[in-house]
Amino acid sequence: MSTGIVTLSSTRAVVNIDLANGGRMASFTVDGDELLHTESTEDDPMSWGCYPMAPFAGRVRDGVLTHDGHAHHLRINMAPHSIHGSVFDREWEHEGGNRFVCDLGPEWPWRGHAVQVIDVGEQALTLRLEVHSHGDSFPASIGWHPWFRTRLRSGEQLFLEAPVGRQVLRDATGMPSGEWAAPLPRPWDDCFTDVDWPITLDWAGRRRLSITSDCSYVVIYDERAHAWCVEPQSAPPDAVNGAADLVTSDEPLIATTTWTW
């Protein structure tokens, strides 16, 4: 096992994985162009790089997860809700090669672990995320939270092509209201389904990145000037309360996404 920064690369792309900060991609360059917002702040681990979200993606209403008639209280890290899982700010371990693991931690009510596999190729980056149970079954959702730079360091502005279908409408607290609609005008901090992958990021023709996934949902956040997010997710926010996949000791939850340049 190792700690610190692990570098994976091909002749065109370089990825630095920060094990201490949620096993996130702290840097992702293609032909020397940094595509991620890489500036970290000690008090805001949610706002940089690309981190895995597990064992839930997005918000859980009021931090309460109810399963089999029992209410479990998660940490409140975006009041009044819990958000983005339990591993994005935990230390991960490098098992070797391109495989990384992390225990789900004491705040998660069930024993289990997450696995990341990061494959850096000549034309594409493929990310695989898994959640495993060590015994009892539990609901889970997973995904990735990349922060893409809206301008390359050479100045090119980012444009987003997002062929998305239905949009999850939000209530006053930012949670799903239970209603769906055709996509509303941008800017977005919203979850969509009926996604016609790929979603394409184009930095004024200098760099073009196409994102595909086997996830049925994507959250798109383009409300900040310096960085936007395209987040493949296996389920919408708060799905662990009744609509998420069930992880058992025999059946992990697995998702993949591929970024092609």
Say if residue 140 is exposed, middle or buried (CB neighbours under 10 Å; 0-12, 13-18, 19+).
buried
| Average model confidence (pLDDT) across the chain | 96
The single residue listed with the structure tokens 């062929």 is 163
Residue 103: its pLDDT value, please? Answer: 98
pLDDT for the residue numbered 206: 97
Looking up tokens 């992390």 gives 102
What the chain holds in terms of domains, given with CATH numbers, is 5-260 (2.70.98.10)
Average pLDDT over residues 233-245: 93
Is the confidence at residue 106, as pLDDT, over 50?
yes
Residues 6+ apart with CB under 8 A from 32: none
Closest CA to 130 of 118, 121, 120: 118
**pLDDT of 3 over the 80 cut:** no
Q: Which two tokens stand for residue 150?
A: 């809206």
Q: Average pLDDT of 232-239?
A: 97
Q: Give the closest residue to 137 by CA, choosing from 254, 255, 253, 256.
A: 253
Do 212 and 197 touch, CB atoms closer than 8 A? yes
Query: Global pTM?
Result: 0.96
| Residue in the block written with tokens 């200098």 | 206
- Predicted local confidence at residue 1, as pLDDT: 42
